[in-house]
Amino acid sequence: MKAHVIYLAILLSFPVMGCCDTMAISRIEPTMFFNLDYRDMLAIKKDLKTDQDKIKKAYSHLMMQADSIWSQIPQKVIDGDLPPTGDPHDFFTIGKYAHPNPETPDGLPYIRKDGMVNPEAFTDRYDLGRFEQTTNRVCSLALAWFYSDDEKYAAKAAEFLRVWFINPETRMNPNFECAAALPGVYNGMAIGIIFGARLVNFLDHVQLLTLSESWTETDNNNLKKWFDEYLIWLMTSDFGVIESRADDNNHGTWYAAQVAAAAIYTNKIELAKSMIDKGKIQLSIQMAIDHAQYPDGALPKEIGRNQSFLYSLYGLQGFCALAGCGKAIGYDLWNYQTEDGRGMRKAFDFLVPYLLEEKKWTHESLTPVREQLPGAINIVRQAEKAFQSSQVKKAREHLEELVENDSHAWLISK
């Protein structure tokens, strides 16, 4: 509790963002991105004029997506089932692994099956699908605007943002109180905060949109107010406090990454630094060194699950997101290591042979490992730049052979 008092004191020492004028924001510093590499993106934009086949294919795929999205109406959190709180603005969804009880006529109480996704969570009854679709659409439109210089894509992204986060009639309340519900047991759980993990990457794309004419300073400050409120909820709510203590698994890491990203976006740099420090503690807790069962660099809490490769990758992605936040403010997590060698380099040393398919993954994985490899491309590129490692470079080159038209693989970094 003492640590939360300190974090809250840091948080409250900064003023809540106010509204300014409606002029477009003139410029941002490229170093303030967490996962996007702005300099790489400028180079990629030039490469579109050359014979870079995979980049051109990814661009064509992106523009097809953006044109399809452009004709869509914004999704709203107020649609779907009424949350248990009675407030339609609260985000509400069952957990992805929550399933009807086969032993009861009405399916209640729901039971949790780890690693087994229930498609019901993504139906129109709940907000999870709408939230993921909205954030994905904003990211795609932001990239489409950047590479095409067509303002209509930025304007559409701004529309989606205003409807989901800003307009009083339709905005989502900045909390996840009713996320990861287990019907008949819980109206929501602290683990539902993990659904906000996508906001780290999302904020990068919002930052990109600040270079456009359509996303104004007033818009940006209004969104910062949303994230100010979200930070307070993350730091002070019962669920937030519970999730912040999950330092032994990916939930704690993604909690720290969310707080760090939102803090940087709202100019609370000391709070962000405290989360990078928290990440150092998490590395020392989560990573195996001289472990009786798992090799050095593994994440035992993730590798022990039935989707062991997926969660080993997801746990490392959380640390990379946190390291990206650190890099943005000149606070290095990439090269941090404990006295006994625990650190991000050790995590990549463990995972790279499997990414190269030089070693066979022998732990339980409901999803074939090869299908999951392309999802590692962006963190491997980040690691190559951080470590200057020939093995990581080989992994990057191998993964690039597996990736086709994914715009986020070919258009956000090289």
Kindly report, residue by residue over 125-173, the tens digit of the pLDDT. Answer: 999 999 999 999 999 999 999 999 999 999 999 999 999 999 999 999 9
Write the pLDDT tens digit of every residue in 262-292.
999 999 999 999 999 999 999 999 998 888 8
For 66-90, what is the mean pLDDT? 98
Helix (H) or strand (E) run with residue 92 in it = strand 92-94
Q: Rounded distance, CA 269 to CA 285, Å? A: 25
Which range (23-37, 110-124, 221-235, 313-327) has the least confidence?
A: 23-37
pLDDT confidence of 409, banded at 50, 70, 90?
confident
What digits encode the pLDDT tens for the residues 39-57?
A: 999 999 998 887 678 889 9
Residue type, 319: F
46-60, 154-168, 188-202, 359-373: least confident range? 46-60
Element (H, E) at 17: none
**pLDDT tier for residue 26 given thresholds of 50, 70 and 90:** very low
Task: Please report, for the domain that includes residue 9, its CATH number.
Answer: 1.50.10.100
pLDDT surpassing 90 at residue 376: yes
Q: What is the structure's pLDDT at 16?
A: 45
User: What integer is the mean pLDDT of 204-209?
Assistant: 96
Q: Which residues contact 196 (CB under 8 A, 6 or more apart)?
A: 176, 230, 254, 258
What's the token pair of residue 138?
């904003």
Predicted confidence band at 11 (pLDDT cuts at 50, 70, 90)? low
Mean predicted confidence (pLDDT) in 358-380: 96
pLDDT at residue 6 tops 60: no
C-alpha distances in Å from residue 273, one per residue of 36, 133, 268, 300: 20, 31, 9, 26
Range(s) of the domain holding residue 222: 2-410
pLDDT score, position 33: 93
> What value does the mean pLDDT take over residues 18-38?
62
Q: Please, which pLDDT band fits residue 79 given cuts at 50, 70 and 90?
A: very high
Question: Cβ contacts of residue 2 below 8 Å, gap of 6+?
Answer: none
Q: How confident is the model at residue 297 (pLDDT cuts 50, 70, 90)?
A: very high
Q: How confident is the model at residue 3 (pLDDT cuts 50, 70, 90)?
A: low
pTM of the model: 0.94
Contact residues for 109 (Cβ-Cβ < 8 A; gap 6+): 101, 182, 183, 184, 185
Total domains in the chain come to: 1
State the chain's mean pLDDT as an integer.
93
Amino acid at 381: R
Residue 2 predicted with pLDDT over 70: no
Q: How confident is the model at residue 394 (pLDDT cuts 50, 70, 90)?
A: very high
Cβ neighbours for 96, distance < 8 A, ≥ 6 positions apart: 117, 118, 121, 128, 180
